[in-house]
Structures are given as structure tokens and as C-alpha cells.
Chain A
């Protein structure tokens, strides 16, 4: 796994460096004084003064990453079994251990049919006395006591919209102290002083994704304010101690290969890919103060999101999620799985992008937030794979009738009307296995 991650990283860095050479732009450069002043003035509206981004392209897109994952093989693994229907027919061929539905039911027991959920039991037809009022009351109590562990348990049943921002901050241990605000301001001044090549990548990504999104276009300027600072935040490097990835290095001009002249590039070690800004966008609905928004995002990244774009064997890593998705589908909807495979529409080809983005930009925002409640509550990303499988199960009838990958994509193109909690509940607890 580490070897694969290593060679993937080499590829990304090579791509970044060649873009740099092609466009004759340095990876990093100090800004002249007048440019610094200008940027400071328009710090709150960077979205309106677009530089020429036509020559930039994202360093990679999720589908490039999928190609790498598909080719992962464990050279130590001897699979002596005869090829048969029971073998794994999906794209991921690495034998990681993933959970089955009985295990998932146990893990996600709070999503059971007899337990109240926000996203189900707060709909307009259900009287609030049944569940919602009491749930809100408990939430307020958890916040009053500032009990982080209780909060994590609580959000498994969903956060009331008015309490969500505070509950997430409590779980992520973000309190926005003066020193945190100062740290953010320091990052901001780093942005003003130095121009990084990745800034253009960030700019391009926002313009390609969030700016065109019905829900998130309003927050475009916040995204720059968060992501430009994020690239310069060396504290993010700490997460590499528990990640299979290593931060890319670059060398001061002319000193290639000399370790004393190596720096991490970008300073936070994370090269953004196409869609990266969508990790931040939904958070803008909850936090409108830039330094708090920043800290929440950073913590979400180093706890969860980094696993979605690095190769590891962790149960919440993207490889495991893909395998979990494929296994769930193959085991519980074998006819559908087989049919889609036959017509050249491997299900993972469609669901991969949902999982890499943690469904941001695919679901309606209120539904997405309910999903992310559970990510925080269960401290795991496995729910993304379960939801992906549940979506396929929901649209199974239509999918059985398609005869091409394009048609399958079309059936699954619009998830904006889906209600995630009923889908998850039915898939886990109400499907005959």
C-alpha cells in the first residue's frame, strides 16, 4: 500500500512540476509590495477578480485516482480459488477486510428502525412531540455541559439545524480562542506575502466546482479565504504521522536532491485535486466567521477527508470504502451488480466520485449535513460506502433496464432529491439479506 501511495505521489508531483515548467511559473514567489496591498484590499472578494486560469488544469481528478486504485495488487497474496461467481467481480482487487451487513447493523445500531432520527422523524407529517422536541432538548443539554463525548454519541441521531454548528465544534474540539484567530491571521499574511502555484489550482478548482453550484456559489469568497490559508498551514503536516502518505518535497532552485534545501510543497503537504474545494463548501452553511470556518475545515480534513484521497488499508480509507461498496452491492444486489458489469458499467466507476467528495455537491445540503453528522458521530467514513450502495439499491429497477455506462450514469446523475436517512435505514435494517 505504501509503495503504491509513494508512486502515486511521485506522479502527482511530476505533474505539478511539469505544469510549472510549461507555464514558466515558479512554485512559490514573493509578491511585490503593490500586489500585496491589492490582495489585502480585495481579500473579501477574491472571486470577482479572476486571473487568467485558462492554462491551468487540475493536477488530477478522481477518475485518475480510481485508475490507480484499480491496479493495486498485493504481490504476496495467493488466491488459489478457482474463478467463480463468488469471487470479487469489482474493480478493487485488494483483499482488505470489510464489514458485512450484520456487522454494519451493529456498528450503526443508532440508525435502527425503532430509534428516532433527524432526517426521518422530523418531517412535516410527524408531530414534534414524538421525537424532535425531546431530541432538541437533549442537544441543548449536551451543549450546556460542553461534553464532547456525549456530543459525538448524540449526533448519531442527527443534529438539529440550530445546534449543529456548536455540536460539530464541540466534537472537533474547536473553540476559536484568540490564539487560534491570531494563527489564522498569520496564515492570511503569508498568503498576502507569497504567491504559490497551488493558489492558481485552488482558484481554478473553485471556479470549476463551487462557483457553479446552486447551493454554494454564494460562499465563493470564503472558499478562497480558507483554502489559500490552508495551503500554507504547516500544522497540517502533523497528520502525516498517521497517514500512509508523505508530503511532497520541492527543492530551492539549483539545489535539487540536497536535503538541506528541501521544503514541503505546498507548505501543508496537500496538493489539491479537482473537487477539493467541495470539502469546505458545505461548512459555509454553518460558520460565517472565517477563522472558525477555517479551523473546522482543517480539523475535518486531518480527521477524515485526507483518507479519501490517499492509498492505505485503513477501514475508512478510500480503498476500503470502495471494496465495502462493491462487496455490499455484489452480495445483496447480485443481479444488479452482474448486469451493470456486463454492460460495461462497473458500479464503482459511478459511485467513486461520490465517495471521494463525501457526497458534497451531489446531495442537497440539508441531506449532506445529516450524512456528515453521522460521519462525526461514528468517527468513520464507512457510511459513505453504505449510502452509495443504498442509492444503487434505490434506483435498482431503473438500472436493471439500462444497456450502457452512459445510461447508468444518467439514472444516477441527479441525487439532489434523495433523502439519505430513509435510504440508509432501509438498506441496513429493512432489506431481506
Chain B
């Protein structure tokens, strides 16, 4: 039992390696005996693929769930959320309640999305209802803003039409699948610029669901002023907040990297919009993250050797409604500024403290309930086991905005006298 943890990684990033080394862990090669493997998504695919039949032993843990793509591929995420909503509706759950326009009151947090080319006709129908709308095309399997473009005319996506005779696009292999979503053309602007939120969420188990939110998320600002003008639809510096894109802009600044802390955002919103709406916004953000995890929990392979740290991308519109844009399985560990490096180093540190208790050789059979002291900058977002107990140990008096505690009334329209809680 006194051995040191043996680690392997495919991702050569200093924020990772420094954390392993500071724990006195020993680096080994992939084909040797290892206890902890920080894998890339390609590797996890191989490890758990049917062909290789890799079997992990009790003292081995990895940083991805085998079928994480149910959450992290854009098309599957939408599919799972749609399925989840329909199931809740069938059960008559109050969460699935709809308003007079047929929109879900509590579960409408993903912009209207279609898969292409499979749902092309459905998309056209929707598009024609609102022909002046803008839509965003995103390749399902890519990241960092690659291959994304905006359209406002059907002609711009002719080649995805299934009936198109000019379509050279025949194969429906998942590599070339796209999703098309209604573009949020009224994002909340600060200083006239568009931004999105990157939040880190750690999941240690899906059934029961136990997830943690990193308190130090950040906003990523575009360097160029936002305009919904159609003449600028091609200008990715206006529309896409990915640092990978923005850092090539003329005005990219290497000191702050166009990033703001979430606490700055909170201060700004509280000061200019008031505390209630700000608390409501952050509550909703927590809510949509938990709902997205619940949506995929039934289909996730809840392998006990796994944990995962996701990068959630959220956009806030000018009505202060948060929208889930996507979830990343391998959030970037590259540091664009000094502050960034510190943040990511601490993120990995806190993640390892939770996933590998005491930094000792893991036993994947442990109950995955770390003590409060090791959470660091994480706070419990949702703990299904605790929520299902009668909550005698929970502190219900938490400060507004903190996720553990009684949720504000969501029963406003259903006439129920009882406050809906996280339970």
C-alpha cells in the first residue's frame, strides 16, 4: 500500500505534469503498470473499444467516461436532452411543463438545433417560420471553433440537403455531420462586446450523480465590437469567443487574454442589474448544468474507474437567460496568460484531490465521497445521494447563489404550494 501512484499522460501540459510531480507520483509508460492515466479522447476510445477488450483493474483510474460523447458531441447532447424532456413529459413531471407557446418553461436551455443532413427537412420548416433568423453551423466532431460558420439563407447550406442532386456529400459518416442551431443574435454585451462563459464541472459518478462546479470560471470576450449586422456574419472575431480564434485578432492582448473572472461578471451584473436577477441567472446556470448531466446519466457507462472534468460553454442573452452551447470533454489546458496558468494549475490540483483521495494509489471501489476540506475551489453542485436522503445534514441556509440549498420557487405557474428543491 505504500507505493507511489504511477501516472501516464497523452497530454503534455505543464499544468498537469507539475501537479503529478508535486505529489511525488512516478511517471511510467503506457504499456507498464499504471494507476492514473490522463488520457486524450482518442485514447479513451481505444481503451474501451469492443475490439481491444482492455480491462482496468481496481487500482487504475482514468479521466474520461467511456461514452462521454453522449454529452460532449454536439448532436448527441441535443439528442439526449430532447429524449430526457420527452420522458419527463410522459411521466407528467412538473419539470417538463410548457408555456402557452409550447416552450418548456424550465428545460428550454439549448437553442433550437437540428442534425444535418438527417433533419434537413425539419430544419427548413423551422427556418421558413422565421426567414430573417440567423443560424450557426457547427461540425459535430470538431473543437476550438474550427469549421463553424453562420448562415442566414437556405442557399448557404444547399449541400446538406438530402435531396440535393449537386450534393457531393453522400456519406453520412459521423465525421462530417453538422448541427445547425438557432444563433443567439442578442447576446448580453458588456462594454459592447460579446462573451461566453467557461465553467468547469467535475463528475465523479453518474449514478448516483455527483458533480462539482469550479468556482473560478471565466468569461471569454471577443476583441471586436459585437454587431448582428449581416455584413459581418463572416467575421469570426465578432461572433466566436474561442480563444483559439480570438488570439489571432489584431487586438488580442496577452496580459489579460480577453478573460474576465466570473466574480467580475457577478459584480458588474449586481451593480448594473440588481442582486435578484443576478442570483436568478447564476441559479439557472447551475440548474442547466445539472439537468444536462441528468439527461445523459441513464445512457452513460458509469464505469467506476472513471471521472471527468468538463468545460461547459454557456452564453447569456440580453434577457439574462443562459443557454448551453456545448460541453467539452477535454477543456484546453493551454495557458494564454499568467493568470490562466495559475487557474488551470489549481483546477487540476483540486480535481486530483477529489478524484485521487490523499494522492495515494486509488481503489476504484471507494465511495467517491470526498470530505469537504479537499474540495478546494470546487463546490458541490449536485449530490444525488444526499438529495434523496431527507437532507438532515444539508445546510439549507446557504447564501444565495450557492448551489446546495433550497432552490427558489419554480412552482410559480403550477399553483403548487411547495417549493421545488434540488431533490
* CA–CA, A165 and B270, complex, Å: 10
- Is the beta-carbon distance between B397 and A127 smaller than 8 angstroms? yes
Those of A182-222 within 8 Å (CB) of chain B: 211-215, 217-222
Residues of A within 8 A of B306 (CB): none
From 238 to 283 in chain B, residues with beta carbon under 8 angstroms from any chain A beta carbon are 250-251, 253, 255-256, 258-261, 263-264, 267-268, 270-272, 274-275, 278
Q: B224 within 8 Å of A by Cβ?
A: yes
Which segment, of A57-65, A284-292, A373-381, faces chain B? A284-292
B225 interface hit (Cβ, 8 Å) = yes
- Nearest chain-A residue to B254 (Cβ)? A212
Contact, CB under 8 Å: B191 / A212 = no
Q: Which of B221, B250, B251, B272 has the most CB of A within 10 A?
A: B272
Tell me if B190 counts as interface (CB < 8 A to partner A). Answer: yes
Closest to A288 in B: B272
Find out whether the CB atom of B268 lies under 8 angstroms from the CB atom of A285: yes
- Given known contacts A44-B192, A48-B225, A365-B264, A213 and B256 CB-to-CB distance under 8 angstroms: yes
B253→A284 contact, CB < 8 A: no
Cα distance A102–B301 when bound, in Å?
68
Contact A219 B191 (CB under 8 A): yes
B399 contact set on A, CB distance < 8 A = 124, 128
Q: How far, in angstroms, from A45 to B260 measured CA to CA in the complex?
A: 19
Say whether B421 faces chain A, with CB atoms less than 8 Å apart: no
CB-CB nearest in chain B for A123 = B399
CB of B79 closer than 8 Å to a CB of A = no
B256 lies within 8 A of A45 (CB): no
Given A45-B192, A213-B256, answer yes or no on A162-B270 (Cβ-Cβ < 8 Å).
yes
Asked if B339 is an interface residue, CB under 8 A from chain A, the answer is yes
Closest to A365 in B: B267
State whether A48 and B251 are in contact (beta carbons under 8 Å apart), knowing that A128-B399, A284-B191 are contacts in the complex: yes
Distance of B222 from chain A, by nearest CB (Å): 11
Tell me the minimal C-beta distance from B217 to chain A in angstroms.
15
Asked if A215 meets B225 with Cβ closer than 8 Å, knowing A44-B192, A160-B275, A161-B275, the reply is: no
Of chain A, the residue at the smallest CB distance from B274 is: A162
Closest-by-CB residue of A relative to B250 is: A48
What is the distance, in angstroms, from A140's C-beta to the closest C-beta of chain B?
11
A162 and B225 contacting across the interface, CB-CB below 8 Å: no
Which residue on B lies nearest to A213, using beta carbons? B256
Contact mask A35-49 → B, CB, 8 Å, 1/0?
000000000110110
Q: For the complex, count residues of A whose C-beta is within 8 A of B.
A: 30
CA gap between A212 and B339 in the complex, in Å: 13
Is B193 at the interface (CB under 8 A from chain A)?
Answer: yes
Which residues of the other chain, A, contact B193 by a CB distance below 8 angstroms?
A: 218
CB of B287, distance to nearest CB on chain A (Å): 21
Contacts of A239 in B (CB 8 A): none
Closest residue on chain A to residue B195 by CB atoms: A218
- CB-CB under 8 A from A365, the residues of chain B are 264, 267
State in angstroms the CA–CA spacing of A311 and B418 once bound together. 65
Cα-based distance from A103 to B253 in the complex (angstroms): 47
* 393-407 of chain B: CB within 8 A of chain A: 397, 399
Tally of B interface residues using CB under 8 Å = 30
Asked if residues A162 and B253 are in contact (CB atoms below 8 Å), the reply is: no
Task: Tell me whether A215 and B264 are in contact (CB under 8 A).
Answer: yes
Q: Which chain A residues lie closer than 8 Å to B274 at the CB level?
A: 162
| Contact B225 A221, beta carbon cutoff 8 Å | yes
User: Once bound together, how far apart are the Cα atoms of A128 and B275, in whole Å?
Assistant: 14
Cα–Cα, bound, A431→B267 (Å): 32
- Write out the residue numbers on chain B whose beta carbons fall within 8 Å of the beta carbon of A211: 253
- Is there a chain B Cβ closer than 8 Å to A164's Cβ? yes
A285 and B261 CA atoms in complex are apart in Å by: 14
Contact with B256, one of A124, A214, A366 (Cβ below 8 angstroms): A214
Whole-angstrom CA separation of A366 from B275 in the bound complex: 15
B191 touches A162 (CB 8 A): no
Residues on the A chain within 8 Å of B270, using CB = 161-162
A430, B261: Cα distance in complex, Å: 33
Set of chain A residues within 8 Å of B225, measured between Cβ atoms: 44-45, 48, 221
Which residue of chain A has the shortest Cβ distance to B398 in the bound complex? A124
Residue of B nearest to A162 (CB): B275
CA distance A212 to B253 in the complex (A): 7
| Shortest CB distance A218–B (Å) | 4
Nearest neighbor of A48 in chain B, beta-carbon distance = B251
Q: Which residue of A lies closest to B397 (CB)?
A: A127
B271 A286 Cβ-Cβ under 8 A: yes
Q: Which residues of A contact B260 (CB under 8 A)?
A: 214-215, 218
| Complex interface bits, B213-225 against A, C-beta within 8 A gives 1, otherwise 0 | 0000000010111
A366, B266: Cα distance in complex, Å:
10
A128 to chain B, nearest CB (A): 7
A211 to chain B: closest residue by CB = B253
Contacts of B250 in A (CB 8 A): 48
The residue from A165, A222, A366 contacting B191, defined by CB atoms under 8 A apart: A222
Find chain B residues with CB under 8 A from A44 CB. Answer: 192, 225
> Taking the nearest CB of chain B, how far is it from the CB of A312, in angstroms?
33
Residues on A with C-beta less than 8 A from B268 are 285
Contacts of B192 in A (CB 8 A): 44-45, 221
Q: Is B191 a contact partner of A161 (Cβ separation < 8 A)? A: no
Q: A221 near B191 (CB under 8 angstroms)?
A: yes
- Bound together, the chains give a CA A219 to CA B225 distance in angstroms of 11
Q: In the complex, A74→B397 CA distance in Å?
A: 61
Please give me the residue from chain A that is nearest to B191 by CB atom.
A218
Nearest CB on A from B268, distance (A):
5
**Minimal Cβ-Cβ distance residue in A for B273:** A162
B263: chain A residues at CB < 8 Å are 366
Chain A residue at smallest Cβ distance from B221:
A218
CB distance from A206 to the nearest CB of B (A): 13
**In the complex, chain A residues whose CB is within 8 Å of the CB of B224:** 45, 48
The residues of B that contact A287 with a CB separation of less than 8 Å are 272
Contacts of B272 in A (CB 8 A): 165, 285-288
Chain A 225-265 near chain B by CB (<8 Å), digits 1 or 0: 00000000000000000000000000000000000000000
Interface residues of B in 52-83 (CB under 8 A from A): none
Instruction: Report Cα–Cα, A402/B278, bound state, in Å.
Output: 45
Residue of B nearest to A217 (CB): B256
Chain A nearest CB, measured from B155 CB (Å): 30
B251 partner residues in chain A, CB cutoff 8 A: 47-48
Known: A211-B253, A212-B256. A220 touches B267 (CB 8 A): no
Within 8 A of B (CB), among A109-127: 124, 127
Q: Bound state CA distance, A292 and B256, in angstroms?
A: 27
Q: How far is the CA of A219 from the CA of B268 in the complex (A)?
A: 11
Specify which of A128, A214, A217, A285 is in contact with B339 (CB 8 Å cutoff): A214
Contact residues in A for B339 (Cβ distance below 8 Å): 214
Which B residues touch A124, using CB under 8 A? 399
Q: Report the Cα distance A416→B268, complex, angstroms.
A: 17
From B253, B261, B271, B275, A217 is in contact (CB under 8 Å) with: B253
Closest to B260 in A: A218
Contacts of A284 in B (CB 8 A): 191
A53 to B191, CA, bound (A): 23
Can you list 6 A-B pairs, Cβ within 8 angstroms, ordered by A? A45-B192, A127-B397, A165-B271, A218-B190, A218-B260, A366-B267
Which residues of A are in contact with B by a Cβ distance under 8 Å? 44-45, 47-48, 124, 127-128, 160-162, 164-165, 211-215, 217-222, 284-288, 365-366
Q: State the 8 A-B residue pairs at the shortest beta-carbon distance, nearest first.
A: A218-B191, A161-B270, A162-B275, A45-B225, A212-B255, A219-B191, A162-B274, A214-B256
Q: A127-B397, A211-B253, A365-B267 are in contact. List 10 more A-B contacts (CB 8 A).
A: A45-B224, A48-B223, A48-B250, A161-B267, A162-B275, A214-B255, A214-B339, A221-B192, A285-B272, A287-B272
